[in-house]
Each structure stands twice: as C-alpha cells, then as structure tokens.
Amino acid sequence: MSKTKLLLLFTNHRVAEKLWLIIPKLSKQYELDLFLVGLMSNETPWIGDIDERVVVISKYKKYINKIINGPGVKYHGDNITTPLDSYIDIKEYSAVIFDDNRKMSEFNIPNFYNICKQNKLVVIGNSHGNEDTPHDATNISYDYKMDFQTGGIPANDSLKNIKRSTKHILIICNFLGNRFSPYGTNFNEDFVIKSGITELSKHYNLPIVVKIKTRLDNPNYEDSINYVKSLLDCTVVANTDNIDQLIADSAFIISAPSTLAFKPIQLGIPTILIKGSGAIGCYKNYPGLVNLNREEIINSLTHQIDNGKYTKFLELSIAGGNNFISTDIYIKKIKEYINENNI
C-alpha cells in the first residue's frame, strides 16, 4: 500500500529551520515532496558566507521523494506572481505543511491555498517565530496553525545529546546600529557600553562571539561584520552550518528575544534577553528578560548560574521543550489534523 503524500512548502530559511527535524520520522509514515519558494528558492540570492539552505537540504534530501525549486525573489520587496500550482501536480497530495503563519501574499500563498481547497487538501501553517501578536491567516493561507505550545520547536530536539563546553560568551543580535531598525535597542556602541560585555569577558577570561543575522534587505553583510568588529574585540559569525554547537559552546548568552534564544534556555545555559531589542512575545514571563543595564545583566547571570534551568518557563512555553520530545508531539498533532479531514 502506497503512503499518503504530503507537500512541504518552505518559504523562509529562518522560519523553516524549526521543522527540518520532523522530516526523518515523518517520512516513515508519509511520502514527502519539498517545494522551495520565496527565500528558500535558489532563484533568490543568498546573503552571507555559507548558504544555509544548501547545508540543510543536503542533510535531509535522502528522506524526501522530490525537491521542487519554485519561484524566488530578486530583492527585498519583490513579489511572486507566477501561480505556485503550475510547478506541481496538486492532485498528487493529501495535505500541505506550510512553514509560516503569515498571509504571505507577496509569495502568492493565498492563491495557492485556494487551489489546495478546490482540490480538498488540508493546509497546516506554522509559527513564524517569537511574535508579540502572532499572525493569523486561517482560511486565507492555511486551515490550521501550529504554535510553540501546540507542537513545540522540533529542531531543538537535536540538542538532546549535544556536548557542552564553555569556550566563549555569545551575543545573538537582532538589528545592528548601522541600519534602520524598528526597535529602540540595537547592537551598537551604546549596547557595548551599557551591557558591560567587555568587563564580563575579562572577568571570565573568555572571548566574545557575536552572531548576526544576514538579510535580503541588507546585502552588504560584510559591512555589518566590520561594523561589529569596530565596536568590540570579537569573532563575528554571519552564517554557520552548526548553530547548535555554537550555542552549546557558550558559557552564557546575551540575546535579543528570538526563537533562536530558546535553544540555550532549553540547554540550561544562562541566557539574558534584552528588553527593547526584539519582540517580547513568548518571553513576557521569562525571568532572564532584563533592561540593557550592566547591573541587571550581572544579577540575572548570577541568579541563573546559582539556580539552573528555567524548567517551569519551558513547560509553559514549548511543548516537549524540557525533555526534547517536540518532534513526536508535532507529528502526533499533524496526524490528528490529517485524520480529522479523513485523509
């Protein structure tokens, strides 16, 4: 008996990265095709030094029946007008797993959703990330929406057996001070001074690593690397093929509130989140959320070193996050959605 066929619709590498770990287990029960659109398409230029799309596809392609490279965008603000269903035979599939929870009209997702409904496919959306007001495009771009409390963050299950060390202090940035930012607190000279990061580096005798985001609307990523280095004696990481190990090698982390920051929290690494540098979202009750203030940062760091992992926070925030079983929870929920639709 042939397996039910599912289509994975991935549109954004930073959004889709939460879902890759479901693929090996999901492929045991379903036949999977991967449809790359928008920022995931190789028609979209990669900004950075390591194309993380290539890295992750190479790792998981053995579990995938067919990879379809769909339309991309040439620049930030570009739109896709080509009908997405022209790239595939929609009748082959029973359900679609869409990596985002946004409407994504710029990638022509609502039109694709309508074609899916005409062919009686269930479409399952997923959390974009840590949002103050989660997007909801139910019945516009998908039928159901998975969030962190429902399906966890499957990608973080890979941390379960990772080897930890204390090689460096890691700073995870959102926006840098050399460009426009929608937030009041960014990584700039003021951040370096008020955080006391140089003094902390000397106190713990540890080097500083700064992880920056590369973005399509800021293609001169090397300028951003140079900007960070002009402010601080550090190593700058734009892209990496092993973000888990970069985090696991951290003695402690100072970060903007972000989905990525859940990784060190789940590992029990002292993690300080800076107010005003990103969406608060899931972190409104996180004990390590502080102002950009050296004393508050040190107090939070000391408290976390003395008291360990924030297990209660994780219990309320990520399904399966405390014991790294989000993947099984996520797949169980996917099967429920599919069975509800008699597929």
Q: Which CATH number do you get for residue 65?
A: 3.40.50.720
Verify that 131 and 229 share a domain, yes or no: no
| Per-residue model confidence as pLDDT tens for the chain (343 residues) | 468 999 999 999 999 999 999 999 999 999 999 999 999 999 999 999 999 999 999 999 999 999 999 999 999 999 999 999 999 999 999 999 999 999 999 999 999 999 999 999 999 999 999 999 999 999 999 999 999 999 999 999 999 999 999 999 999 999 999 999 999 999 999 999 999 999 999 999 999 999 999 999 999 999 999 999 999 999 999 999 999 999 999 999 999 999 999 999 999 999 999 999 999 999 999 999 999 999 999 999 999 999 999 999 999 999 999 999 999 999 999 999 998 876 5
**Which residue's structure tokens are 């972000």?**
258
Give CA 311 to chain center in angstroms: 21
Burial of 198 from C-beta contacts in 10 A (0-12 / 13-18 / 19+): middle
Strands 250-255 and 122-126: unpaired
Task: State the pTM of this model.
Answer: 0.95
Read out DSSP for 88-145? Answer: S-GGG-SEEEES--S--GGGTHHHHHHHHHHTT-EEEEE--SS-SS----BTTTBSEE
Q: Give how many domains the chain has, as a whole number.
A: 2
Verify that 168 and 138 share a domain, yes or no: no
Q: What is the DSSP letter of 217?
A: T
Verify that 46 and 193 share a domain, yes or no: no
Distance, in Å, from the CA atom of 60 to the CA atom of 24, rounded to the nearest integer, reads 8
Verify that 103 and 71 share a domain, yes or no: yes
Domain span including residue 334 = 4-157+324-340
